[in-house]
Amino acid sequence: MRTVLIVDDEAPVRSLMRDILEHAGYEVHEASNGKEAEEKLAARATHLVITDLVMPEREGIETIRSLRKRYPNLGIIAVSGAFEGRFLRGAELLGADAALMKPFDPGALVEAVKRVLAARA
């Protein structure tokens, strides 16, 4: 089973993404910021990270840079709200495999995960 780490400082958003991805057959764990995400990745094998861009402690762009350097084969999807949407292109340039604007359709999330995992297989 493929494992996904969701990184978002908003618990309801993490919960929603968890429900969508578990229903699609993925094993999911969560972190509330980039620092916590790095700790969780060191402790548990993970195939893909979905990270918000605006978070406390360590924001998403910094997290993407760090993860890409430490885990070059890890799938990374950046997500962001409408006001931060302009940062999504930058996230892709810095190492994210895909980017989604919040709010997104559940099917779009699952398709992005499938596409990135297939490309990283």
Q: Please state the pTM of the whole predicted model.
A: 0.92
> Average pLDDT over the chain, rounded to whole?
90
What span, in angstroms and rounded, lies between the C-alpha atoms of 70 and 58? 16
Does the bond joining 103 to the residue before it have cis omega, within 30 degrees of 0?
yes
HSE-up of residue 26 (Cα within 13 Å, Cβ side): 25
Tell me how many helices (H) and strands (E) the chain has: 5, 5
* Domain segments of the chain as ranges: 3-120
44-82: pLDDT as tens digits? 999 999 999 887 887 778 899 999 999 999 999 999 875
Listed residue (121, 115, 28, 29) closest to 73, CA to CA:
121
In this predicted structure, what is the pLDDT of residue 67? Answer: 93
Strands 75-80 and 48-52: parallel
User: What CATH topology corresponds to 3-120?
Assistant: Rossmann fold (3.40.50)
Neighbours of 31 (CB within 10 A): 23
- Has residue 110 got a pLDDT over 80? yes
